[in-house]
Amino acid sequence: MRTSMFRSVETAIRRASSSSTTSHIVRRSYASGSHPERKVAVLGAAGGIGQPLALLMKLNPLVSSLSLYDIAGTLGVAADVSHINTRSEVKGYTGEDQLGQALEGCDLVIIPAGVPRKPGMTRDDLFNINAGIVKGLAAAIAKYCPNALVNMISNPVNSTVPIAAEVFKKAETYDEKKLFGVTTLDVVRAKTFYAGKAGVHVADVNVPVVGGHAGVTILPLFSQATPAGSNLSDEEIKALTKRTQDGGTEVVEAKAGKGSATLSMAYAGAVFADACLKGLNGVPNIVECSYVQSTITDLPFFASKVRLGKNGVEEVLGLGNLSDFEKEGLENLKAELKSSIEKGIKFANS
Ligand SMILES: NC(=O)C1=CN([C@@H]2O[C@H](COP(=O)(O)OP(=O)(O)OC[C@H]3O[C@@H](n4cnc5c(N)ncnc54)[C@H](O)[C@@H]3O)[C@@H](O)[C@H]2O)C=CC1
Ligand SMILES: O=C([O-])CC(=O)C(=O)O
């Protein structure tokens, strides 16, 4: 699960910022094809997540064409980001009549479109607005880029992924290997919180997070965290688990009505998108946690470690050994996750 996203970004910045003649030559030969052409779209690109995510995707050398779409405000964001001297060409699209152009030819579509939480709300409280937004965007993806990988960020992820799956099924374009709920922020938080408590270097830490992306459905597996052997007590593991599950709420409360996590989410979204692009490009052994169609439990969608490849999901990895506390957490999350999945399926078919 270690990612070289930072290294890629660093390399891109170094390449772009050097002004020597040699670097122009290097840059030209680089742009002419050391990586395949990849078109990536961000839907909701003018929003709190969309803008920093657009920036991070512009810094990613695996992207050759960056398509920024929103219902309003995209052209300014696209003009701004387009001036950065990295590989990709940037185009902005605004309004539904430009959605098709934004999507045509995409290899990867990232969706942070929709409303965020305010204090006191659950992610499910966003369902009424975001379910319709996701349904519409999924229908457009089925029409204009049915083969693209889809990274769903819009909440409630536990329901929006099943909604997109149903829309794709109806359009006869569904490929379960290509639809991902982005749960990377849970992993990012689990790594950060664990490193702080265990006193280990955060860059070395790996922690799988399984289940879903809301409250108790977020199940970090600290018993599998590496580096291990930090002698954390049961109480400390419980507190780390709770903090990971409540990480989104911690940010919502700190922002006090001004939305939810945007910067850490953009980072997490960029890490996951980078992993998807590497998989598409044939880089071996790319593994990230994601909420996907799954048979590793009795639930039809479940987050776990996933190996990424040229067609999206190459393999959904099992849960490994769980502690008794994690086994209990797994049983406790099933009812809520099942009902969120069923709610999404019912909505998509209504
Ligand atoms: N999966 C995860 O871990 C996380 C998910 N989120 C979710 O991401 C979503 C976006 O959050 P923010 O960027 O903070 O919200 P925001 O309100 O700042 O931005 C959302 C953007 O979506 C756009 N939008 C609305 N309808 C659209 C449509 N039909 N097509 C294209 N764009 C549309 C809006 O114009 C706006 O620019 C929320 O649902 C939030 O809950 C947020 C953090 C983490
Ligand atoms: O908490 C929220 O509403 C946004 C989110 O999903 C997160 O930060 O994990």
Structural domain including 261 reads: 183-344
The pLDDT value given to residue 193: 97
Banded model confidence at residue 228, pLDDT cuts 50, 70, 90? confident
The pLDDT value given to residue 29: 36
Same domain (yes/no): 206, 98 = no
Which residue has the CA at smallest separation from atom 1 of ligand 2?
248
Report the separation in Å between the CA atom of 346 and the middle of ligand 1, taken as the mean of its atom positions. 22
C-alpha–C-alpha distance, residues 119 and 260, integer Å: 9
> Is residue 327 assigned to a domain?
yes
C-alpha–C-alpha distance, residues 114 and 164, integer Å: 14
Choose the final residue of a domain: 132, 164, 182: 182
Same domain (yes/no): 80, 153 = yes
pLDDT at residue 2 tops 90: no
Report the separation in Å between the CA atom of 246 and the middle of ligand 2, taken as the mean of its atom positions. 9
The pLDDT value given to residue 23: 37
Q: What does the longest C-alpha to C-alpha distance in the chain come to? A: 61
Mean pLDDT of 141-159: 98
The pLDDT value given to residue 12: 52
What's 226's DSSP letter? B
Which atom of ligand 1 is nearest to 183's Cα?
Answer: 3
42 has which bridge partners? 68, 110
Same domain (yes/no): 255, 160 = no
**Binding-site residue ranges for NAD(+):** 44-50, 70, 130, 153-155, 265
Banded model confidence at residue 231, pLDDT cuts 50, 70, 90? confident
pLDDT at residue 31 tops 50: no
ipTM of the complex: 0.99
Catalytic annotation present for 83 = no
Which residue has the CA at smallest separation from atom 11 of ligand 1?
116
Choose the final residue of a domain: 182, 207, 222: 182
> Is residue 277 assigned to a domain?
yes
Same domain (yes/no): 304, 159 = no
C-alpha–C-alpha distance, residues 237 and 200, integer Å: 15
Same domain (yes/no): 200, 177 = no
The pLDDT value given to residue 58: 98
* Number of domain units in the chain: 2
Are the C-beta atoms of residues 69 and 98 closer than 8 Å to each other? yes
% residues pLDDT > 70 (the chain): 90
Mean pLDDT of 219-227: 97
Same domain (yes/no): 137, 214 = no
The pLDDT value given to residue 6: 52
pLDDT at residue 316 tops 60: yes
Banded model confidence at residue 13, pLDDT cuts 50, 70, 90? very low
Report the separation in Å between the CA atom of 49 and the middle of ligand 2, taken as the mean of its atom positions. 11
Q: Is 184 in the pocket of ligand 2 (CB under 6 A)?
A: no
pLDDT in tens, 251-294: 999 999 999 999 999 999 999 999 999 999 999 999 999 999 99
Which residue has the CA at smallest separation from atom 5 of ligand 2?
248
Choose the final residue of a domain: 182, 198, 223: 182
Report which secondary-structure segment, H or E, holds 312.
strand 312-316
